[in-house]
A and B are shown apart, each in its own frame.
Chain A
Amino acid sequence: MAKKMHDTPNLDQLESGPWPSFVTGLKDLAKEKDYVVDLLGQLEESYKTRKGYWKGGTVGVFGYGGGVIPRFTELKNEDGTPKFKDSAEFHTLRVMPPPGMHYDTDTLRQFCDIWEKHGSGLIAFHGQSGDIMFQGATTDNVQKAFDEINEMGFDLGGAGPAVRTSMSCVGAARCEQSCYNEAQAHRAVLNTFLDDIHRPSLPYKFKFKFSGCPNDCMNSVQRADMAVIGTWRDKMRSDEGLAKKWFAKHGMDELVNDVVARCPTKTFQVKELNKIKSGEHITSVAVSDTHGIEINNQDCVRCMHCINVMTGALATGTDKGATILVGGKSHLKIGGLMGTVVIPFMKLDTEEDVEKLVDLAQRTIDFFAENALEHERTGEMIERIGLSNFLDAMEIDVDPAMVNSPRMNPYVRTDGWEEEVSKINAKKKAA
């Protein structure tokens, strides 16, 4: 039995209502742990004053420079002693999840046992970067908890100016829209940079995210320095049985208004069956005895909408791979930036293909480490130096798929134009 609870009139109000309550969870832990009794005391104070009371510091595990988020209370009595002494140290361990965040219950139970013994008993699945967050351990217990978690085969994630923990979608494990082996790519890339994860020494954070298709369930384009987003080059597949089943249920109004009208390039057409074209780039499928779909895949931008609506009736092609975008980030400090295309398509079928992705990641991080200013993300760096300079350094050929449009101003020195043209022509000849 733990000590008596502090009054928490504010937090108590978060126990009512139908959604699972983290306050009820904390109170259950507080029945056994003075640690959590005091944590609730401090949190109640925050609710009362609308102020935060944690400060960072220096806590880590032996051999690593990051992965632990230190927290010391700033809520002090007049004599400088902590107002809530039992939770005065409340550090978090960031632990990298398996790709796709799959677990067996034995693993989760072991996590619980370790965290019951050494920590607060509060675990978050998962933090915004994807970490399993073991929240709340004293300075003395951080190493003990880490040792046991590490012996299970789990490792700390990134914090500070480091390669950060990554996430991949459920992907090939349970999604028909998967365009590459997300788990394989995720592990191959991240496990190449363990030193950069565990010993922060980059200009700033560097994030990888792996999404199996352009639905981008990992939000990689908006937040990853390197986003690996699955796509395909060949024709969409179709299945007449499923197409007819879909149409029988949804009808012509939905086909026209929800699919045809929403195709961003208007390449998706509904036609009478006898008017449907065939050809190398055409996907076609009947939806009824009179009508069918015709898609010219050369005009398709692989947005996923028709596949999302008519799952199975239409499907991705089979010549699959990924588009690589660089430079996505959130607000701080120049405003949000989307990642931009640097590799329109790369195959990721074989180990050699994945090695090429690892090599690209390695060269990108090397360039970032050498050229970014302190506290500058890749997106800001590219904005500062221009995409062409980045591509030059990375030895990546320019491609019109990298831009929304060519430049709209004349302010560029073009005295290398002919040289560039002859390089492009020589490459074309050699190919």
Chain B
Amino acid sequence: MNQAVQAAAPAAKRKPKETGVPDNQKYLHPMLAKNYGNWKYHDRPRPGVLHHVSHSGDEVWTVRAGTARQMDIYTIRKLCDIGDKFADGRVRFTIRSNIEFIVADEKKVAPLITELEKHGFPVGGTGNSVTMIAHTQGWLHCDIPGTDASGVVKSLMDELYDEFRREEMPNRVHLSTSCCEINCGGQADIAIIVQHTKPPVINHDLVANVCERPTVVARCPVAAIRPAMVNGKPSLEIDEAKCMCCGACYPPCPPMQINDPENSKLAIWVGGKNSNARGKPTFMKMVASGLPNNAPRWPEVAEAVKNILRVYKEDARPWERIADWIDRIGWPRFFEKTGLPFTKYLIDDWRGSRANLNASTHIRF
């Protein structure tokens, strides 16, 4: 495509400046630039506020606020006004789309919090809170979404608003949502991911024109797709007994429609942890599925997530992430306490799955 664009372009077109990743030095708050690499320790005077102390004796306070991530320019300008008024015209964003304002004067902290909350930006997301949900594009912009992303996040964060603004969980809780099984939302303590339950529905009129068939065949993890002539046209067919409905064929071949308003469900996964703290990093595990894709507020999903959080908050010890907590209490107790049904679909049968089976008599009764 690149060559085609270049060939068609008249000579006068502007050449891009391949400047790459810009230097961040000029964007740093002056106190961060001054104490770069020289910080000594930090504490958290209240939820939503970090206090960092440098070996030089300098101190900064960071106030963290939640955003919708997908922001209109008026909202961004409002955040800029707040940054100009309180934080020397500097802001930064966290990986979970929270915005941070840094001040070198402790007296500015309280009025900054008041100003942010007055404009509807909740202050929190630090330490052992439930922080903002890492999420994807959904119906707003993705070409293969099974559900929305921003709407699911808005609905859930409305329900978890108090937990964002407080630090009352045993340890931090990271959430993510993904609008298909590719899981762009990523690993998290609790993740909500689309789970398709029916094989793709093929529009045989379009396959030959739209799809590179060998690529699609190669893309299937269980070799369930093969080339076929259908109604006299070259197309593809699926061995429906083999297909596990992952949707990997859909991106390279949109006529293999995997999304289904009724049969594309939502699954809940728990226990992902990227940090090396305590145990090694862990992947999350599926603990529930079959939840309806119930726009615009997904109440069944919200209830399921809140239920797991409620049990975790009551039962886990300080500093236990969800994965650490389940390590202590064991999976049978997790399902018992959360009331979630343990079905046969939760027994792994994918490659390497025997490592996930209990090869011992370690059982909690």
- Measuring CB to CB, which residues of chain A are less than 8 angstroms from any residue of chain B? 10-11, 13-14, 16-23, 25-26, 28-29, 43, 46-47, 49-56, 58, 60-66, 69, 71, 90, 92, 96-109, 111-112, 115-116, 121-126, 128, 135-136, 143, 146-147, 150-151, 153-156, 166-167, 169-170, 172-176, 178, 181, 183, 186-187, 190-191, 194, 197-199, 214-223, 229, 239, 242, 254, 257-258, 262, 264, 301-305, 308-309, 311-313, 315, 330-336, 338, 374-375
**Given A62-B16, A214-B277, A21–B187 Cβ distance below 8 Å?**
no
Most A CB contacts (10 A, CB to CB) among B68, B120, B145 go to B68
Q: In whole angstroms, what is the CA distance A108 to B278 when docked?
A: 39
Q: In whole angstroms, what is the CA distance A313 to B53 when docked?
A: 13
B56 contacts the other chain (Cβ, under 8 Å)? no
Number of A-B contacts (CB under 8 A): 375
Of the stretches B107-115, B235-243, B289-297, B337-345, the one at the interface is B289-297
B358 contacts the other chain (Cβ, under 8 Å)? no
Report the minimum CB–CB distance from A251 to chain B (whole Å): 13
Report the minimum CB–CB distance from A218 to chain B (whole Å): 6
Task: Specify which chain B residues have a CB less than 8 angstroms from the CB of A23 in the assembled complex.
Answer: 151, 154
Docked-complex contact A216 and B20, CB < 8 angstroms: no
B224 contacts the other chain (Cβ, under 8 Å)? no
Q: In whole angstroms, what is the CA distance A375 to B283 when docked?
A: 22
Task: Specify which chain A residues have a CB less than 8 angstroms from the CB of B2 in the assembled complex.
Answer: 60, 64-66, 199
B181 contacts the other chain (Cβ, under 8 Å)? yes
Task: Specify which chain B residues have a CB less than 8 angstroms from the CB of A135 in the assembled complex.
Answer: 70, 140-141
Q: In whole angstroms, what is the CA distance A308 to B261 when docked?
A: 45
Docked-complex contact A19 and B187, CB < 8 angstroms: no
Docked-complex contact A125 and B278, CB < 8 angstroms: no
Q: In whole angstroms, what is the CA distance A216 to B277 when docked?
A: 9
Contact bitstring B326-338, A, C-beta under 8 A = 1, else 0: 0000000000000
Q: Which residue of B lies closest to A170 (CB)?
A: B92
B17 contacts the other chain (Cβ, under 8 Å)? yes
**Given A52-B143, A106-B89, A155-B20, A304–B261 Cβ distance below 8 Å?**
no
**Given A98-B21, A102-B92, A216-B275, A124–B319 Cβ distance below 8 Å?**
no
Docked-complex contact A65 and B72, CB < 8 angstroms: no
Task: Specify which chain B residues have a CB less than 8 angstroms from the CB of A197 in the assembled complex.
Answer: 20
Contact bitstring B271-302, A, C-beta under 8 A = 1, else 0: 01011111101010000000001011100000
Q: Give which listed residue, A25, A47, A229, A374, contacts B296 with CB less than 8 A.
A: A47
B227 contacts the other chain (Cβ, under 8 Å)? no
Q: In whole angstroms, what is the CA distance A411 to B185 when docked?
A: 38
Docked-complex contact B90 and A103, CB < 8 angstroms: yes
Docked-complex contact A19 and B161, CB < 8 angstroms: yes
Task: Specify which chain A residues have a CB less than 8 angstroms from the CB of B73 in the assembled complex.
Answer: 29, 112, 115-116, 121-123
**What is the predominant secondary structure among interface residues of chain B facing chain A?**
loop
Task: Specify which chain A residues have a CB less than 8 angstroms from the CB of B25 in the assembled complex.
Answer: 183
Docked-complex contact A105 and B72, CB < 8 angstroms: no
Task: Specify which chain B residues have a CB less than 8 angstroms from the CB of A64 in the assembled complex.
Answer: 2, 16
Report the minimum CB–CB distance from B195 to chain A (whole Å): 11
Docked-complex contact A332 and B141, CB < 8 angstroms: no
Docked-complex contact A146 and B16, CB < 8 angstroms: yes
Q: In whole angstroms, what is the CA distance A169 to B120 when docked?
A: 26
B76 contacts the other chain (Cβ, under 8 Å)? yes
Docked-complex contact A174 and B95, CB < 8 angstroms: no
Docked-complex contact A304 and B42, CB < 8 angstroms: no
Report the minimum CB–CB distance from B93 to chain A (whole Å): 4
Contact bitstring B76-104, A, C-beta under 8 A = 1, else 0: 11011001100001111111010100100
Report the minimum CB–CB distance from A268 to chain B (whole Å): 11
Docked-complex contact A222 and B186, CB < 8 angstroms: yes
Docked-complex contact B120 and A100, CB < 8 angstroms: no
Docked-complex contact A150 and B22, CB < 8 angstroms: no
Report the minimum CB–CB distance from B111 to chain A (whole Å): 18
Q: In whole angstroms, what is the CA distance A335 to B274 when docked?
A: 16
10 A–B contact pairs at CB < 8 A?
A: A62-B13, A62-B14, A100-B24, A103-B91, A103-B93, A107-B27, A135-B141, A155-B16, A220-B274, A330-B182
Docked-complex contact B43 and A311, CB < 8 angstroms: yes
Task: Specify which chain B residues have a CB less than 8 angstroms from the CB of A199 in the assembled complex.
Answer: 2
B19-52 contacts to A, CB under 8 A, are: 19-29, 32-33, 36-37, 39-43, 52
Known contacts A60-B2, A187-B23; 16 additional CB pairs below 8 A are A14-B296, A18-B122, A53-B139, A54-B141, A63-B15, A96-B21, A108-B77, A122-B71, A122-B73, A123-B73, A174-B39, A178-B37, A218-B95, A309-B319, A332-B181, A374-B215
Report the minimum CB–CB distance from A58 to chain B (whole Å): 5
Q: Give which listed residue, A11, A50, A221, A254, contacts B281 with CB less than 8 A.
A: A221
**Given A43-B139, A155-B20, A215-B275, A254–B295 Cβ distance below 8 Å?**
no
Docked-complex contact A54 and B142, CB < 8 angstroms: yes
Report the minimum CB–CB distance from A168 to chain B (whole Å): 9
**Given A55-B143, A176-B52, A304-B275, A102–B281 Cβ distance below 8 Å?**
no
Q: Give which listed residue, B24, B40, B72, B215, contacts A29 with CB less than 8 A.
A: B72
Most B CB contacts (10 A, CB to CB) among A151, A221, A309 go to A221
Docked-complex contact B42 and A311, CB < 8 angstroms: yes
Task: Specify which chain A residues have a CB less than 8 angstroms from the CB of B276 in the assembled complex.
Answer: 214-216, 221, 229, 301-304
Report the minimum CB–CB distance from A349 to chain B (whole Å): 11
Q: Give which listed residue, A128, A147, A334, contacts B14 with CB less than 8 A.
A: A147
Q: In whole angstroms, what is the CA distance A111 to B93 when docked?
A: 15
Task: Specify which chain A residues have a CB less than 8 angstroms from the CB of B157 in the assembled complex.
Answer: 19
**Given A109-B77, A305-B319, A26–B72 Cβ distance below 8 Å?**
yes
Docked-complex contact B72 and A122, CB < 8 angstroms: yes
Q: In whole angstroms, what is the CA distance A29 to B76 when docked?
A: 12
Q: In whole angstroms, what is the CA distance A239 to B53 when docked?
A: 14
Q: Which residue of B lies closest to A116 (CB)?
A: B73
Docked-complex contact B68 and A222, CB < 8 angstroms: no
Docked-complex contact B68 and A96, CB < 8 angstroms: no
B62 contacts the other chain (Cβ, under 8 Å)? yes
Q: Which residue of A lies closest to B42 (CB)?
A: A311
Task: Specify which chain B residues have a CB less than 8 angstroms from the CB of A167 in the assembled complex.
Answer: 95
Q: Give which listed residue, A105, A216, A313, contacts B90 with CB less than 8 A.
A: A105
B310 contacts the other chain (Cβ, under 8 Å)? no
Contact bitstring B185-204, A, C-beta under 8 A = 1, else 0: 11100000000000000000
Task: Specify which chain A residues have a CB less than 8 angstroms from the CB of B14 in the assembled complex.
Answer: 62, 143, 147
Task: Specify which chain A residues have a CB less than 8 angstroms from the CB of B23 in the assembled complex.
Answer: 98, 183, 187
Q: Which residue of A lies closest to B142 (CB)?
A: A52
Task: Specify which chain B residues have a CB less than 8 angstroms from the CB of A147 in the assembled complex.
Answer: 14
**Given A20-B121, A25-B72, A28-B72, A11–B296 Cβ distance below 8 Å?**
yes
Q: In whole angstroms, what is the CA distance A218 to B33 when docked?
A: 21
Task: Specify which chain A residues have a CB less than 8 angstroms from the CB of B92 in the assembled complex.
Answer: 100-103, 170
Docked-complex contact A18 and B161, CB < 8 angstroms: yes
Q: Which residue of B lies closest to A111 (CB)?
A: B76
B248 contacts the other chain (Cβ, under 8 Å)? yes
Q: Give which listed residue, A16, A155, A308, contacts B277 with CB less than 8 A.
A: A308
Q: In whole angstroms, what is the CA distance A66 to B15 when docked?
A: 15
Task: Specify which chain A residues have a CB less than 8 angstroms from the CB of B43 in the assembled complex.
Answer: 311-312
